Structure 1
Amino acid sequence: MTRRIGARVVADLLDGYGVTHLFLVPAILRRTLAELERHHPHITTVVTHGEKSAAYMADGYARVSGRPGVTAAQVVGALNLAAGLREPFLAGSPVLALTGGRSPATKFRQVYQEVDDLPAFDPVTKFNATIDDADRFPDMLRHAFRVATTGAPGPVHLQIQGNEGQLDTEPTDVEPVVEPGFARVPAVRPTPDDESVTAVLRLLAEAVRPVIVAGGGVRHSGAGAELVALAESLGIPVATSANGKDTIPGTHPRSVGVVGTYSRECANQVVARADLVCFIGTGTGGMTTHFWAVPPAGTPAVQIDIEATQLGRNYPLRASVVADAKAALTRMLALASRHRQPDRTAWLAEVEALRAAWRARYRAVLTSDAVPIRPERIAGELTAGLPDDAVLLVDTGHAGMWLAQFHDVTAAGQSYLRSAGHLGWAFSAGIGAKCAAPERPVVVFTGDAGLYYHLGEIETAARRGVNLVTVVNNNHGGNQSRRGFDRAYGGQGTERSRELWTYREVDFARIAEEMGALGIRVDRPGDLPTALDRALHAGRPVVVDVHTDIEAAAPQPVTGP
């Protein structure tokens, strides 16, 4: 055995698991950073302006690469990092968080910045533990990667002794043994048994108006092609959760769009009309089902999920399959020929009529030349203007509503990543996504309310040469909240209540220029295609500041046919 410093072991392990970027607020693991520079200089350290944004960058990196994103913070920033882990926890994204921890020699003596942070990580991680001996670095890091990438993926946290993780300066004899099979998602693909698959196929064959609802588990599994093939083979329309939107192109004839609360109207109509719903890789949560109203309670359902605990959680099931989505869909395709499907001509015609009616209803706003610009027009231009290999990241709130309803993924090679519920996520996550896929165009869609959260990270992108494009729906307010405040005020807001969701007019293009990025201001809809094309070819970070109509509100979700 070779005696070495703990920091060298940590550096070698990160390299062995294929880590290419580390997102952090210093100071944490200083000696490890030095060992990375000496022995693994290809691993890039991205210093951010906040722990929460560092966690979001690691999350964006993980969702694009399929490898765990790594983030770190010293003990005083640990709670900020924990807050950032809420997003990958809710989205099922593999993130490894490393923080400093208290030292036994100074516990309970009111040492500077002493707080017991460990319990804060329990609700937002799959695994939360401490490393208090340098000999434990290899086995604890191995276990962290193993937990993050198996089953439904998710974040893990290791608290390393010392407020800055100084345990990495201690010597150890242990070897940095790596388990390469747990370096990416899915690390393990549980296969289904034929009896369960046959039960699902039999029910699908008996249904007259079936629909598939595909979720983030399908995208984690890389099962988009199998999903499309099954939908085509069985003649079944497909709705998706927001996290599963890129599992089937929105332009495909079987696609009806995103279902639930942030949804496309025709998707909710189709799912509400179905006589059997097949959930694949979705937790059937409140947003995907509009709080369990779409489909309505009592609708016959089947479910396929890698986690047995998800099966039947919100809808009683006629049949279920515990398996990786790709493995399950592959086996369904192989066995489908044994189950003759009914004539679904009438059902598919009804679905197409609902799709066509939706497009006709909103064609005017999708192509509107109104000034201030309509947000639907931005969504339409993103559909038309993004390359076939683009990555699009979308914030929650109104940004998520506009894009869920009015944007279409147009190619199997495009990725669509949406916040699971945290405003401000998209911009920081976009930096991480671009780090993971520097060869792909990466575009962020957010509002001014979302950009304000981590505005300082424009400087991070410029400093590190992370050339993502950020499109800002700048309406000088957070007008998603308007309806709620108006209701609270008896149906009609006041000047004071308007102050709760409006801001000053700010030119983000000028701010971007001051921070070292390219800023492009757009005031007229006809300039959007040129601005987007210029941004995609700029070779530097770009903020496209689109000034839009504050009175524009996204349509409310429907719950019936």
Structure 2
Amino acid sequence: MTANEMTGGEALAHMLLAHEAGPIFGMGGFQLLPFYDAARRLGLQHHLINDERCGAFAADAYAKVTGRVGLCDATLGPGATNLVTALVESLNAGIPIVALVGNTHRLHSWKNMTQESRQVEILRPAVKEIIRIDHIERIPELIRRAFVVATTGRPGPVVVDIPEDIAHATYPFDETWFEVDSTYTAAPALRTRPAAENLAAAVELLVEAERPIMLCGGGVHISGAAQMITRFAEAINMPVAHTMSGKGSIACTSALNAGIFGRYDRIANRLIDESDVLLVVGCKLGEIATKRYTLPEPGKKIIHLDIVAEEIGRTVIPSVSLWSDAREGIADLLEVLPQDELKERLAKWAATVATRMQQWRVDVAPRLTSAEVPINMARLLHELNLNLP
């Protein structure tokens, strides 16, 4: 074995390289200077921003677009606390983030060091997990842990809190310590499938359904399940409605797309009222999706599929619970359903979606073509839709 004496900051940079790090967004501070020096020398893509909030939101956007872990950094005190709003967004949206945050030299902590604050306590409720590094030799282990937590279950942000003395100290790291499992470079890193007995119960409800509808949330995109959702819906003629974050679960141009449900619906809420079975996929059924908890009406048969078991039943008690990754759970359902039989039986129900959507367009046409001044927002968006490629 060979050992390489390096600073804690350089060890951090090596661990990000091992995880095939993309761009890092942040604002440097003295506490993490060895990390920035190593990032430059090792070729990491660090982008200096003018406010830590911008850096955290940029990391969130990168992760949303790519599915890979978003990276940001900040110095202690106000640098750390500026991350809060963006980290809460990532936490609520299920976005994998690793944020490196500098902290005070432990020898001088709580002696009125410049910008010192209780940043760990402030950041803790804004993230999925906060990891404090108190021993330099644990840097490889704990950065691996940060990526595992960020990309598994419901993905989310992880803060790695690094004292100044840890970043500036040196240690003879063995090169093998920087080996990582590439599984955890993107989310979802691991997938679960529903239990056989729960799957059978869901199949029983769907086989008996006359007017089922699928309700899709942002978890569909976290799972990368949109193609599977489309395949499922088309295979059995099941209408699909979605939340704002679930938009795109099935193409907006599909005849099976009933649009947004909840507070901002077009035709979907009425379809939910008329349905006899709801298949909820990757959706927390929060305030907006349920129109402040007035949807669905009590007694509705519901199959709730979600990667986070504790979200199932939080706002609505389901008839069947499926603890599963969205893509894998829907694939398992499709495999055991009598597809041809359901497709024929649900054809008439499915056809009402396109008919109702067309009637909705007729009803709102005056707003979409309004000549009022200043321009009506509906007209503006309608013209953009007509003219954008």
- Cα displacement string for residues 11-41 of structure 1 (whole angstroms, at most 9, x for unaligned residues): 121122122211112226222122122122x
2:300: which partner in 1? Answer: 299
Describe the shift of the 1:39–1:107 C-alpha distance in structure 2 as closer, same or farther (beyond 3 A). Answer: closer
SS of residue matched to 2:315:
coil
Identity of aligned residues (%): 30
Distance 1:153 1:30 in 2: 29
Q: Which residue identity is paired with 2:189? A: A
CA distance in 1, matches of 2:90, 2:285: 17
Q: Greater CA deviation, 269-278 or 137-146?
A: 269-278
Q: In 2, are the aligned partners of 1:298 and 1:315 still within 8 Å (CA)?
A: no
Alpha-carbon distance, 1:386 to partner: 4.7
Separation (CA, whole Å) in 2 of partners of 1:384 and 1:141: 47
Does the Cα contact within 8 Å between 1:214 and 1:238 map onto a contact in 2? yes
Alpha carbons of structure 1 residues 371 and 154: separation in structure 2 relative to 1, 3 Å: same
Compared CA separation, residues 110 and 294, structure 1 to 2 (3 A): same
What is the SS of the residue equivalent to 2:82? helix
Distance in 2 (alpha carbons) for counterparts of 1:378 and 1:188: 43
Q: CA RMSD in A?
A: 1.9
Structure 1 unaligned residues grouped into runs of 5+: 388-561
Aligned equivalent of 1:11: 13
1:14-93 aligned within 5 A: 14-27=16-29, 29-40=32-43, 43-76=44-77, 77-93=79-95
Deviation at 1:154, TM superposition (A): 0.7
Residue pair 2:212, 2:277 contacting (<8 A) in 1 also: yes
The range that moved more, 147-156 or 372-381, is 372-381
Partner of residue 313, structure 2: 312
Offset at residue 348 of structure 1 (A): 2.5
- 1:148 aligned onto 2:150: yes
Q: Structure 1 residues 381 and 45, CA, compared in 2 at 3 Å: closer, same or farther?
A: farther
Other-structure match for 2:288: 287
Alignment partners' CA distance in 2, 1:291 and 1:209: 24
Q: How far apart are 1:382 and its partner, in Å?
A: 4.2
Q: 1:216 aligns with which of 215, 218, 235?
A: 218
Q: TM-score, normalised by structure 1?
A: 0.65
Name the CA shift for 1:238/1:180 in 2 (closer, same or farther; >3 Å): same
Measured in 2, the distance between the counterparts of 1:378 and 1:137 equals 52
Partners of 1:336 and 1:34 lie apart in 2 by 57
Shift of 1:250: 1.1
Cα distance in 1 between the residues matched to 2:371 and 2:287: 35
Contact 2:104 2:113 in 1 (8 A): no
Structure 1 residues 80-89 or 173-182, which shifts more?
173-182
1:191–1:324 CA contact under 8 A, matched in 2? yes
Alignment of 1:17-416 (within 5 A): 17-27=19-29, 29-40=32-43, 43-76=44-77, 77-162=79-164, 167-174=166-173, 175-261=177-263, 263-337=264-338, 340-341=341-342, 343-387=345-389
Question: Structure 1 residue 385: deviation in Å?
Answer: 4.6
* Contact residue 7 and residue 34 of structure 2 kept, 8 A: no
Aligned residue identity for 1:31 = P
Contact 2:203 2:337 in 1 (8 A): yes
Q: What secondary structure, in the 3-state scheme, does the structure 1 residue paired with 2:322 have?
A: strand
CA distance in 2, matches of 1:203, 1:311: 18
Please report how far the alpha carbon of residue 366 of structure 1 lies from its aligned counterpart in structure 2 after TM superposition.
Answer: 2.6
Equivalent residue for 1:491? none
Cα offset, 1:384, TM superposition: 4.0
Structure 1: distance between partners of 2:54 and 2:266:
33
Alpha-carbon contact 1:52-1:83 (below 8 Å) kept: yes
- Tell me the alpha carbon deviations over residues 515-534 of structure 1, each in whole angstroms, 9 at most, x when there is no partner: xxxxxxxxxxxxxxxxxxxx
In the alignment, the residues of structure 1 paired with residue 218 and residue 95 of structure 2 have an alpha-carbon distance, to the nearest angstrom, of: 10
Counterparts in 2 of 1:257 and 1:201: CA distance versus 1, 3 Å: same
For this pair of structures, how many residues does the alignment match? 381
Whole-angstrom CA distance in 2 between matches of 1:382 and 1:245: 18
Scaled by the length of structure 2, the TM-score of the pair is: 0.92
Deviation per CA, 1:250-274: give whole Å up to 9, x if none. Answer: 111110111122x232122222322
